Amino acid sequence: MKKTGLWAIIFFIPFWFYGQEYFRMSADFTGKYTSADGSINLSKGKVYYDKNSKMLIYDLTFPHKEKWILKDTQLIKQKEGEEPKVMEIPNINEFSIFHLALNASLDNFGMENSPYELVKVEKKDGLVISYWKIPANNPQQNVGYIAIAKKNGRLESIVMLNKEQKIISKQFFKDYINKDGFLFPGRIIRITYDDQGRPNYEILEFKNIVLNDVEHNELYEYRPE
């Protein structure tokens, strides 16, 4: 399996709930990544996230057994029977779809706590679309603009553009699952573009969501094998 597909899963980054607070979740997931050259990669497993520890664990069962653990600025990859490999990465877990959903910030993609500034809001074809721009004093960001579309208060799509206003990626959030008032997209479609402008597609599907599981703490923790 190419790294590209699973990296895309992780960066689906960057819900509502009424009354109850949710602090951890797990789900079964399947992923299908189709690159611009026509090659296809599949992945399957479970994902675990605890917003207090901010540890994100992908427990892959296909195409082979492997765990990906993201914590702070480390990515630990461990295949069954092998020594773990540690990589330094940006601290992204607070901007993942799991963290945003558990903190009731998925509907606006967490923009209120981002460096982006709201520049425009409009209604179009039943959608409320907000446009966000990175401040000029934050030149490190690759993404210059973000357009967020909502329908009936739910996140429908995100379009990211670079500073030249060229589309970098699109994400569509569909088939929401309502689990005790907790809304989470059952299917996410992500489109990115290669250097030649050709699209790459990824479809990520979730099911069997479990919330606030306190009987299996070990599943939300990582201990080297």
Cα dihedral angle (47, 52, 53, 59), rounded to 10 degrees?
-10
- What pLDDT score was predicted for residue 140? 55
Q: Taken in order 102, 107, 110, 112, is the CA torsion positive or negative?
A: negative
* DSSP assignment of 124-184: ETTEEEEEEE--TT-TT-SEEEEEEEEETTEEEEEEEEETT--EEEEEEEEEEEEETTEEE
pLDDT one digit per residue (tens) for the chain, 225 residues? 444 455 454 445 443 334 468 999 999 999 999 999 999 999 999 999 999 999 999 999 999 999 999 988 899 999 988 889 999 988 888 889 999 999 999 998 888 888 889 999 999 999 999 999 988 776 556 788 999 999 999 999 999 998 888 999 999 999 999 998 899 999 999 999 988 889 999 999 999 999 999 999 999 988 766
**pLDDT, position 134:** 84
| Domains of the chain by start residue, with CATH | 3-220 (2.50.20.10)
pLDDT score of 185: 97
Structure confidence at residue 15 (pLDDT): 34
Count the residues in the chain: 225
What CA–CA distance (Å, rounded) separates 105 from 95?
A: 10
List the end-to-end C-alpha distance of the chain, in Å, as a whole number.
22
Confidence at residue 5, expressed as pLDDT on a 0 to 100 scale: 54
H or E element in which residue 203 lies: strand 199-211
Tokens coding 114? 């981002």
Q: What is the pLDDT of residue 94?
A: 82
> Cα dist. 8→93, 97, 205 in Å?
13, 12, 13
The CA distances from residue 86 to 29, 34, 67, 185, in Å, are 24, 27, 12, 30
- pLDDT for the residue numbered 167: 93
Residue 95: what pLDDT? Answer: 81
Count other C-beta atoms under 10 Å from residue 54's C-beta.
15
Q: What is the pLDDT of residue 20?
A: 67
